[in-house]
Structure 1
Amino acid sequence: MEQPHWSDFVRLFLIFVVSAPISFLRQVKENLRLHSTFQKQENALKSHEDRVKNVQKQVRAWSESGAKVPMCSSRPSAKSISQMQTMAYKDTMYRIDIDLPNILSIDEDKGLVRIEPMVTVGQLNDFLIQRGWTMPVVAELDDLTMGGLVMGGGIEVTSHKHGFFQCVCKSYEMVMSDGSVLVCSDTVNRDLFATIPWSYGTVGILVSMEIQITPYKPFLELKYVPVKRKHQAIQLLRGETVRGFYDTLEGFMFSAEEGVVMMGRYVDQPGDIPLNRIGRWFKPWFYEHVRSFLKSGEGVEVVPTLDFFHRHNKPIFWLLRYILPWAHQPAFRYLFGWIFPLPLSLINNLRNKLANPEWFRNFVLQDYIVPVEHVAKVLELNETEFHIYPVWLCPTRHLDCSEYRTHSPQDILIDVGIYGFEERRGDRKLGQRRLEDFTVDNQGFVFLYAETDLSREQFDKMYKTYSYKYEEVRRKYECERAFPHVFNKISKVGRQSFCK
């Protein structure tokens, strides 16, 4: 067991005495507010109108002030999943206060829920499950906002069937650069509808959205298949994506060749299969539980669906081991496991205040989405450049607005998620560039929430893969002065032009 450092005791003090209680009380208050607001649906809709008018007022004030700098949201860095220490580029922009945290309506006949963009995954899913529904694509971390999943990209283990998160979004309500409100969908303002996903708030301000919902089943029958070769894992993911039998599909690679592929089916009852309540406070972190099947061999168990939705919350996949390296130990889990999951904002604050500078020099947080035939090469590059494990594998497809995408709905893509410290202790930036170069050269792309070293030329080439009318749409809706180019928001190179 790793010996504690003095900073570990500081972390404990901040978590137990200060941050965790405050975060817990804030969450209780927010959930009560959300429930109360929805119970008074007329008030929720009236409140929405007022909040949208406030956004419009700010946009018009920007125009009247001379529109000298682009607009951006005033959301603080700590609430972002990005690994940037601070979003300094915002200091040089015109900030718009956006307070849109409500669930507005649910239409069970049409299978739709209408929400504001600051509603989190956890809040919406808890709300839906109480009514017998859930989302077809439920992101892994409860603190992610629904607007963030649209603007920055979202993927989950059901994406092999339902596509990226935006594929279950049916309409968006936007405040545009002139302060007007515009609604877009698959049939109305389709060009804008297709361009909003992954645009990072650079074609307008999202103020509400309609999302498809699906009936909720309380259990998941989960099969674990250990593999001894990476090609075996890739072939299994490809084959099951084509077959379409399983509701969930993902894989973890624990070394260059060894891994575990998981496939699940939602069920109403556990039946005769053993039930494992993986969400209980003392249970091993999910990735460690999965690792155990490398020794025990193939297995099947039933897990509560809600526990499965939350499986990555406690360890943030496996990243919490870098901030609290002893937190996964059995004694700590039994005594203090109840405090998890910690809010992402708290984790970010702890990281920024207490993390060794090495965190920001050698840390990799990126998803490389590539056609299935190129996955093996990305895994090989991770082995030679970073040697970071586990690695997450998640198949998906582009199922929305196919005429705006390079890939057809039949093309199988796999997200290769690489999160952690590069152990080669080489040049992290150079290694990341090599992976990004390979990804872009092979019709792949990277998620925009993470740090990237792409040049403008590389970025434009990549971005056309999933939004090749972005520039045209920005011109049409007069966004070029109103909002920064997406490259200037997500790239180190691009942000420098705003931070000088």
Structure 2
Amino acid sequence: MEAHNSAVKSISERVRHFYEAKTAFRVYHGSTNSTRHANFDREAIVDVSALNNVISIDSEKRTALVEPNVPMDVLVRETMRAGLLPPVVMEFPGITVGGGFVGTAGESSSFKHGFFDRTVLSAEVVLANGTVVTASETSNQELFEGLRGSFGTLGVLTLVEMRLIELKKYVKITYHPTTSIDNAMQRVQQETRREETVYIDGILFSKDSGVIVTGRLTDGTPTSAQPLRRFSRPWNEWFWIHAKSVASKPSSTPVTEIVPVEDYLFRYDRGAFWTGMYAFRHFFIPFTRLTRFLLDYFMHTRIMYHALHASGHTDRYIIQDIAFPAGNAARFVEWVDNVLGIYPLWLCPLRADGRSSMGHPRAYQNDGNVFDGEYINVGVWGPYPSSEPAYVGMNRALEAKAKELGGLKWLYGRAFYTEEEWWTIYDKKRYEALREKYHATSLPTVWDKVKDRGRREDFGPGLKGWLKRVVKGNGLLSGFYGVYKALRGGDYLLKKKPA
């Protein structure tokens, strides 16, 4: 804890320096699981990338003290050693505790435990004037609530205390095939009412074919009727492909398997759900089990995100998650089917309090009424080859449809609203009052952080700049460039120091 306190003191001093100099700054974490364009200025950041330790785990209280840059795979590994497990674990190993708390982060257990931020009991924060405070339900409660979905715009998160649950060795998962959009939504809602169910998500492969996957923690051993299934090794089949094979069997009878806990929690890491499939198409590589095995190294999310940002391919894909009141989710999927035709689609039920974790939204829905029921998230991730105006236009159409149906976007994705539109969805008055109270007006707002900036890179002069422009302007070459940068490693968010 001494090393942590020393690091926090240094962060506090740097924050106070910016505050007294009346200079804006941003918080730098060292990586991102967002698809928004980002480029940090080394001279105007507070670097918290070294806050990446699990400080302690209290097995008796079932709690952990964790620094914000601890990624999910490290958190799971350390808590498992103590016989415990986080209630909500985001599906990509590189997503961090801090990102989960101040961002928008849910998973298949969020229908029961809420978004990741709901598992946090208290938070240590350096306010924008350099003061270090602790916020919880009993201390600085308004700040504690405000931190949810604030994206680091109310202060610098330096430590959280989070609750844990009892660990069991396996997850017993059951695949429930579905035959229509409505059937899938009904199955999701039915399964959330089963007390023994801990995990629920779903995949729609088409309007007529899908699967809802439920799970519960167990120490039971695999059997011939409920075999062991793994998803983490290079020779294992990707999870969604296996789920599709189960859903496509002639019999609609549910199928049950036993999966090691870590394999289940990070089942979508290989291939980043199914978006890795598009990389094979982009490079004209056959999409077979053999090629997936041979290229497995490149198909994990840490590598894929690095390549995605370096290549600029976020401009060629629609990547959005939107939470809808459960009764409206089917209408949105039908719109996606008719307008975009993108499949697969991800379904994830969310607890009724999910809306309050999503970036300071207004309390009411589009029709002016308060909705206090369950939500179903729909993940739309797929290519949209088009000109930039058409690409932006389609994303704006998607945002308009979401607003019409009372949906709310997860803000890791790109936002194409105008500022006026943004503040009709998010509560500017309450949010700005919080920023004023906690001295955060020198920090960027949530709108400043998520508004779309397009791809305006400075490629530089001379031959090197010309080569960069050529590469980034060619889809295939930019893809190879992204792979090269990912293999090379290093920082892909900070601006380079001037020569």
TM-score, length of structure 2 as denominator length: 0.81
1:32 matched to which residue of 2?
none
Cα displacement string for residues 64-112 of structure 1 (whole angstroms, at most 9, x for unaligned residues) = 3x213x2212345xx212223x414x43982112121111111122111
2:238 matched to which residue of 1?
285
Cα 1:321–1:334 change in 2 (3 A) is closer
* Aligned partner (choices 159, 165, 186) of residue 214 of structure 1: 165
Q: How does 1:338-417 map to 2 (within 5 A)?
A: 339=297, 342=300, 344=302, 346-353=303-310, 355=311, 359-399=313-353, 406=363, 411-417=373-379
What are structure 2's unaligned runs of at least 5 residues?
A: 365-369, 457-499
Do 1:186 and 1:401's aligned partners in 2 also have CA atoms closer than 8 Å? Answer: no
- CA shift at 1:444, angstroms? 2.4
Alpha-carbon distance in structure 2 between the residues aligned to 1:436 and 1:402 = 19
2:126 matched to which residue of 1?
175
Aligned to 1:366, what secondary structure does the other structure show? strand
Alpha-carbon distance in structure 1 between the residues aligned to 2:128 and 2:393 = 38
Amino acid at match of 1:386: L
Alpha-carbon distance in structure 2 between the residues aligned to 1:341 and 1:492 = 27
Aligned to 1:380, what secondary structure does the other structure show? helix
Do 1:158 and 1:249's aligned partners in 2 also have CA atoms closer than 8 Å? Answer: yes
Q: How does 1:212-251 map to 2 (within 5 A)?
A: 212-251=163-202
What are structure 1's unaligned runs of at least 5 residues?
A: 1-44
Aligned to 2:112, what secondary structure does the other structure show? helix
Aligned residues: 438
Superposed CA RMSD in Å reads 2.7
Q: How does 1:69-468 map to 2 (within 5 A)?
A: 70-76=24-30, 79-84=31-36, 86-88=37-39, 90-91=40-41, 94-98=44-48, 99-272=50-223, 273-296=226-249, 297=252, 298-325=254-281, 326=285, 329-335=288-294, 337=296, 339=297, 342=300, 344=302, 346-353=303-310, 355=311, 359-399=313-353, 406=363, 411-422=373-384, 427-464=390-427
Alpha-carbon distance in structure 1 between the residues aligned to 2:184 and 2:386 = 24
Alpha-carbon distance in structure 2 between the residues aligned to 1:131 and 1:398 = 31
Greater Cα shift, 51-60 or 454-463: 454-463
Alpha-carbon distance in structure 1 between the residues aligned to 2:372 and 2:60 = 30
Aligned to 1:492, what secondary structure does the other structure show? coil
Aligned to 2:41, what secondary structure does the other structure show? helix
Do 2:103 and 2:150's aligned partners in 1 also have CA atoms closer than 8 Å? Answer: yes
Do 1:452 and 1:491's aligned partners in 2 also have CA atoms closer than 8 Å? Answer: yes
1:49 aligns with 2:12: no
- CA shift at 1:379, angstroms? 0.7
Amino acid at match of 1:82: S
- CA shift at 1:435, angstroms? 2.0
Do 2:175 and 2:247's aligned partners in 1 also have CA atoms closer than 8 Å? Answer: no
Amino acid at match of 2:47: D
**By percentage of residues, which structure has more helix?**
1
Higher RCO (CA < 8 A, seq sep 6+): 2
Aligned to 1:194, what secondary structure does the other structure show? helix
Identity across the alignment (%)? 28
1:38 matched to which residue of 2?
none
Cα displacement string for residues 205-251 of structure 1 (whole angstroms, at most 9, x for unaligned residues) = 00000111001111111111111110010011112223443111111
Amino acid at match of 1:489: K
Alpha-carbon distance in structure 2 between the residues aligned to 1:228 and 1:460 = 39
